[in-house]
Structure 1
């Protein structure tokens, strides 16, 4: 089951109250509700990849360049637990 936009807005407000540092992360998934972004794509988003709408209510564009995925420490060359992929 997927939350509708009104339910998603309520959930985002609850996240902001409980963990403000996570609001932007979950906010991207809420505002990108129709884009269907995966969490690893949201983690990889940079400010210059988001083309803001020319006016409120207009469509915006995402220019996705990759994903930041979680990997096991044993699979990394430099002991990182994340890896950027195209």
Structure 2
């Protein structure tokens, strides 16, 4: 007879809704949604979404996208002025 072992979900201590929010922001951005539109969507989510974990995850990914774009802009600007 075998015994089934249930493996816990690896969520890093976050609610699964947090990762759902991150995934939705990632998918929206991959589909071509600009950072400005993502920021507006985030403001609506903050005001109206009932799950704070989802909103926190969405916000975390939007902030990461912002940081990535700022880094790329800074790096491109540096190399253009250094050349």
TM-score range, shorter chain: 0.3 to 0.5
Q: TM-score, normalised by structure 1?
A: 0.35
Q: TM-score, normalised by structure 2?
A: 0.36
> In proportion to residue count, which structure has more helix?
2
Bigger-Rg structure (1/2): 2
